[in-house]
Amino acid sequence: MRYKTITPSLFIKNRKKLNKKIQPHSLVIVNANDEMPRTGDQFFPFRQNSDIFYLSGLDQEKCILAICPDHPNKKYREIIFTVKADQTMTTWLGHKYNKEEVKEISGVQTVMWLDDFEITLRELMFHVDRVYLNQNEYVKFSPDVPSRDTRFSHEIRDKFPVHTYHRLAPLFIGLRLIKEPEEIALLQKACDLTNDAFHRVLKFIRPGVMEYEVEAEMTHEFIRKGASGHAYLPIIGSGNNALVLHYTENNNICKEGDLVLMDFGAEYANYVADCTRTIPVNGKFTPRQRECYEAVLRVQKTATAFFVPGNTIDQINKKVNKLMEKEMIGLGLFSEEDVKKQNPEKPLYFNYLMHGVSHPIGLDVHDVGSKYIPFEKGMVFTLEPAIYIEKEGIGIRIENDIMVDDTPVDLMKEIPREVGEIEALMGRGLKK
């Protein structure tokens, strides 16, 4: 692992919280992610299922966690099954967990090989009435390839059809939304690495560089500092590319006079940062670019105060839209009279800001949750107001990660966003 060892007390605590949410005489089963085939005999880099990592800290494929709190035999109340590596596997693929390592990482004291799973599952099922099964229920995500958890849910229902089955995903929403102090520290580390990468590109970007070169500078900084890499495909959109919300090709030239919008973040110990900064390619904002940029920045600063207990993403979206509407009027994009005459179903601001401005973040960049769930202390969300003016070739987004508290905590307060600071840092880079 590239990251420092995480104390198993975090995962023990997380499992105890889950146990309080499940019904008596229940079994919980969570699978590791698959190794995803790429082409030929190659796999994509492995990334662990966030839910099993949350409960165990295991960062390896071919693992299963079973939790059966009411089993009469204590050794069956928590079990991890993992692959038994023989000499051939170790020679070709490298080290795999042994049983002692699994215990040290997870705090689970009963560790078995995957070969023992089927017979042990029958033992567990004999003593339970209901089973909690896991599935990714993110509402905007519907992959063609079924996950290991999804495939397993079909298999176990076929083998044990008369048990009662429950969804585990709603329980994870309640658990994973509120971060423990150890999780906040890992998120802060991811944000700090993101800050390092931003300082690096501030000194690198100039007219003539390619968007993918900017991405490479970020990647270099992430890897050398111990991150696993990017938390998601980075967006490096210069000029009109900044107007494409999910632009990831990153293959154009950064030109004189253009802005470059960078949506990027480090992943550290599977916890992720999500940052956006928009800067001038030549190191100096034009008067119009600065006017638009500072409008977005004013809204972000004002909206940071909204991340307090009791608020919701839905409410924040509505408040930010009104703030941005006022700024758009000030920028001459439309008038107050135009707003009075607009179709309420198609507000004018939507032509220049067509997305929500917040989402949960944690083990996933779009973490578990809903825009209607009231905020509680310890929840972490992004805040990303923006403006996109197609006819002027201006796309500006500024995004920070905010922890909910009575006084909200900006985990990205150290990442430069003031016009003067950005121009000064880029000026030092351009002199080289």
Instruction: Please list the active-site residues.
Output: 41, 246, 263, 274, 355, 359, 366, 384, 388, 397, 399
Backbone angles phi, psi at 334, to 5 degrees: -165, 175
Does an H or E element contain 280, and which? strand 275-280
Q: What is the DSSP letter of 210?
A: B
Among the listed residues 373, 384, 378, the one whose alpha carbon sits nearest the alpha carbon of residue 405: 378
Question: Which residues in 103-137 are b (16+ Cβ under 10 Å) and which e?
Answer: bebbbbebbbeeeebeebbeebbeebeebbbbebe
Question: Which residues in 55-64 are b (16+ Cβ under 10 Å) and which e?
Answer: bbbbbbbbbb
DSSP assignment of 104-163, as one string? Answer: HHH---EEEEGGGHHHHHHHHHHT-SEEEE-----TT---SSPPHHHHHHHHHHHHSTTS
CB 269 within 8 A of CB 286: no
- The two tokens of residue 188 are 């802060």
Handedness of CA 281, 287, 290, 295 (dihedral sign): negative
Q: CB count, 10 Å around CB of 304?
A: 16
Using CB atoms within 10 A of its CB, is residue 86 exposed (0-12), middle (13-18) or buried (19+)? exposed
Which residue type is seen at 283?
A: G
In angstroms, the CA 92 to CA 100 distance is 22
Does an H or E element contain 316, and which? helix 313-330
Number of residues that make up the chain: 432
Using CB atoms within 10 A of its CB, is residue 234 exposed (0-12), middle (13-18) or buried (19+)? buried
Does an H or E element contain 263, and which? strand 259-264
CB 379 within 8 A of CB 360: yes
